[in-house]
A and B are shown apart, each in its own frame.
Chain A
Amino acid sequence: MTVAPFARRWVSVIPRIPGSLILFWLLLALLGPVLAPFAPGEVVSRTVFAPISAHHLLGTDYLGRDVLSRLLCGTGSTVLLCAATTVLACTGGVFLGIIAALKQGLTDTLLSRFMDGVISIPSLLSALVAVAAFGSSVPVLVLAMSLIYMPGSYRTCRMLALSIVRRDFVLAAQMRGEKSGYIVLREVLPNMTGPVMADVGLRFIYAVRLLSNLSFLGVGLQPPLTDLGSLTRENLLGLVYGAPAVIAPALTIAVLTVGLNLALDSYKGKAG
């Protein structure tokens, strides 16, 4: 119950983090290629897996390319691709989930069974099928990953909404004759922002993981595009040398996902 003063100060800083952290990653994603000291594809050194030096801040990779430059470009694609996926998956999931809770009956059954169907196929497998059928391009990856992660978001939101749609203020809106869109956006959604935000954070992690997995298998983003997963994979050999080339992208994935989740978890809506 009693919290030490320094801890209290630290706790009070947390709510301000989400906005600035998201902004930081987005800026990095957009400005990364500009900030990069070298062209990402250019072989700039004769030493492979070079350690940290003043010239190459994060050393060089398995071909002697500058790791920092490649990392700056790779972060951009991972962040943007996964953000797009998360936005699509969660928008669909939130909307359909609340609609299902609101309408119940046949709408709920049809939607839920469809989502169950999608969720029952392992995510990596469906992604591989999608890539095999439509080829590996950015739109295919984003759409496939959105479809894969929508059911999870849908189920979470449906459960959250189920307890809210039974409350009297939703009934009051229905009795007034409000349209479903209004009820979803104004009456139900604002009362579940906190858990939805936490869920968004989870979906983002999943997306980063799936994209990294795909890249690791070589069917994700294709060269010359690169992302954090493929950077880790291509430099895997550097592990035995302790090269920053493999540690840096892996660490970036960790910082990105864990940090964003901590930040989103601390988000509290108006209803608190």
Chain B
Amino acid sequence: MARHGIMQPPPLISVQNLQLTGRRGRGLETPIVDGVSFDVAEKEMLALIGESGSGKTSVALALMGYARRGCRIAGGKIRVAGYDVTEMPPAELRSFRGKTIAYIAQNAGAAFNPALPLMDQVIEPALLHHVMPRQVAIERAIFLFELMALPSPGTIGARYSHELSGGQLQRLMAAMALITGPEVVIFDEPTTALDVTTQIEVLEAFRTVRREEGFTGVYVTHDLAVVAQMADRAVVLKNGVVQEEGTTEQILSAPRHAYTQALLAANTPQVRNAPTQATDSGTVVPVLDVRDLVVGYGGTGPDGRPRHTILSDVSLPVMPGETMGIIGESGCGKSTLIRAIAGIQPWTSGGITFEGEALAPRIEARSAAQRRHLQLVAQNADLVLNPAMSVGDTLRRVLTFNGDAANGAEIGRLLDMVRLPSALADRFPPELSGGQKQRVNLARALAARPRLVLCDEITAALDTVVAAAILDLMMELKRELGIAWLFVTHDLHALRSVCDRVAVLYAGHRVEFTPISALEEAPHHPYTRRLENSVPEMRADWLTDVISLRDQGSEPVPALSSSRGAGCCYAARCPVRIAICEVATPPVWRSPAGALISCHLTSQDLS
């Protein structure tokens, strides 16, 4: 931000007219990045903003003198910390990477070798580049662990990657990048794969370490709210061309370019849904009724409950034509719930009825009509479409299987329903973009003419703009076809914009069940509130506020006794817990606004 000194030092990173080209198979070279130029001053953090395919990661990798397979740096000048990256011979590049410039990747889970203790891997760059002796490196690593608020920094290095959570691994990876004290650090979407609650911890850790270490940074992301917290300046990329460059404040508050404005609009929450007046008054039969569902593994204990429960007594009625949202962090059991409803996850007790009839736990035992009317749309569109089958054949098979007419017109109609051109029918999934694949995925579910569609994080892997379009599409289909949706997500924005009612899951318990109208009004379960507060906002001091709020709130809580079992599932993390929370199962009560909350505290306490 403070770039207007009297004697401006030369920029630490200077990219001029960068050209990157790529080749697919034996095809012609096509430009990936075309004429990108920007400077980063010393100790500054620059954000590269763009959607997938915008070339932001390619630019970031080019700073390290690296081009992905099939790509090459075709032109332009890259100077980083006094080195001319494009001219460096391989041996020099190797010592330049790791020593002068470091890279923090998106998926830390995949970056660590599961067979080696973490400390060995964290200090490896320092030993490899002969920066410091082993003992010094270990001390520095422990210092970095402390800085990033990792639990038990002295001993965490002796553990293995599978023993830690995603957020912790991401911080360890940052420590690995920083161990050599590099001048430049590249962050490549480091929090995209994390839950919002975890993201806060990681972002705060990055900020602390940057304050202490004072490196120059390049932060690659598509999330504008994260940019607001982390970066001083930002460059907006689209299709490999710079659209706009400016300070973070200017980009986020007064974007000049139309594309930046569109990006901002997609990031701003909006209501897409005209709420259906569905109530469980008893007059309408719910399309789906989940009653006291218990799912677990490890066999059944003497009390008839599984030894390890994933879902505890979850109930969920879904009315015809309604959008039911399920939200919770990873590991809360939301996908398990979807799998149980879909018939691929057996349950221990409780039951599920579909249109008034009991559903068999196993898909094989369900009737053809039930299989047809209950469709699952899975998260990962890359895995869910057969790469060796054309889009048309995929849809045709569903139609013929259900005994419907499967002519070209019908397939065209289905593709049109998900706003895809009918010419796409001859294409194969690997040729499609992520958003297109997810639309085909939806079209396949719609081909069966379902009454209820289960959506498991269908927008999680998509860019904001594409995800917004998918949500719009869902709502249009809901209006046109009267389909009920069960929408699982960890994205509160998405949830708000499409759902009629919301169930909040924590550790397999339904802690709150609320109509969307009541979501804005207090009181709420403490976990719901925490989720709400964790969604990044586009103002720069949001992270500071959240962290200070969290630090204040954590004082008067009674210490947690070691005996767990009965009691509230959220007691361990609850900032407002009282003594009874640990011993008794909380009652369920209805708030004035209509939310069902399971908590020992009363409406007044929580307001």
Contact = CB atoms under 8 A, between A and B. Distances in A.
Same complex: yes
A163 B304 CA distance: 35
Contacts of B383: 167-169
Contacts of A171: 344, 378
B388 A271 contact: yes
A109 interface: no
Contact of B371 (A2, A169, A177, A187): A177
A132 interface: no
Given A167-B383, A177-B401, 15 more contacts: A1-B72, A2-B72, A12-B26, A169-B385, A169-B386, A171-B378, A172-B376, A172-B378, A175-B342, A176-B371, A177-B368, A177-B371, A186-B389, A191-B388, A193-B388
Give me the 3 closest cross-chain CB pairs, A-B, nearest first: A190-B388, A168-B384, A271-B387
Contacts of B401: 176-178
Interface centre among A171, A178, A193, A272 (most CB of B within 10 A): A171
Contacts of A11: 26
B398 interface: yes
20 contacts: A167-B383, A168-B378, A168-B383, A172-B384, A175-B342, A175-B343, A175-B344, A175-B363, A175-B376, A176-B398, A176-B401, A176-B448, A177-B401, A190-B386, A190-B389, A193-B388, A270-B388, A271-B388, A271-B430, A272-B430
A2 to B, nearest CB: 8
Interface of A: 1-2, 8, 11-12, 167-169, 171-172, 174-178, 186-187, 190-191, 193, 269-272
Contacts of B72: 1-2
A172 B398 CA distance: 10
A168 B441 CA distance: 11
Nearest to B456: A168
Contacts of A169: 383-386
A174 B344 CA distance: 10
B428 interface: yes
Given A12-B26, A168-B380, A171-B344, A191 B70 contact: no
Contacts of B364: 177
Interface residues of B, number: 29
Interface string B51-85: 00000000000000001011010000000000000
A168 B456 CA distance: 12
Contacts of A193: 388
A80 B325 CA distance: 62
B22 to A, nearest CB: 11
B444 interface: yes
Name, among B67, B364, B371, B383, the residue most crowded by chain A CB atoms within 10 Å (CB to CB).
B383
Given A176-B401, A178-B401, A272-B430, A1 B388 contact: no
A269 B72 CA distance: 27
A71 B553 CA distance: 90
A44 B159 CA distance: 80
Nearest to A15: B26
A171 B441 CA distance: 13
B1 to A, nearest CB: 40
Contacts, number: 62
Contact of B428 (A172, A187, A270): A270
A174 B401 CA distance: 12
A44 B198 CA distance: 87
Nearest to B72: A1
A176 B343 CA distance: 11
A178 B368 CA distance: 11
A168 B70 CA distance: 29
Interface string B373-402: 000101010011111110000000110010
A14 to B, nearest CB: 11
B344 A1 contact: no
Contacts of A269: 388
Nearest to B363: A175
Nearest to B68: A1
A187 B26 contact: no
Contacts of A191: 386-388
B446 to A, nearest CB: 13
A172 B454 CA distance: 13
Contacts of B368: 177
A12 B27 CA distance: 11
Nearest to B385: A169
A103 to B, nearest CB: 12
Contacts of A174: 363
A192 B25 CA distance: 19
Nearest to A176: B401
Contacts of A190: 386, 388-389
Contacts of A167: 383-384
Interface in B400-452: 401, 428, 430, 444, 448
Contacts of B342: 175
B501 to A, nearest CB: 26
A180 B525 CA distance: 47
Contacts of A270: 387-388, 428
Interface centre among A172, A174, A175, A272, by most B CB within 10 Å? A172
A193 B385 CA distance: 17
A168 B386 CA distance: 9
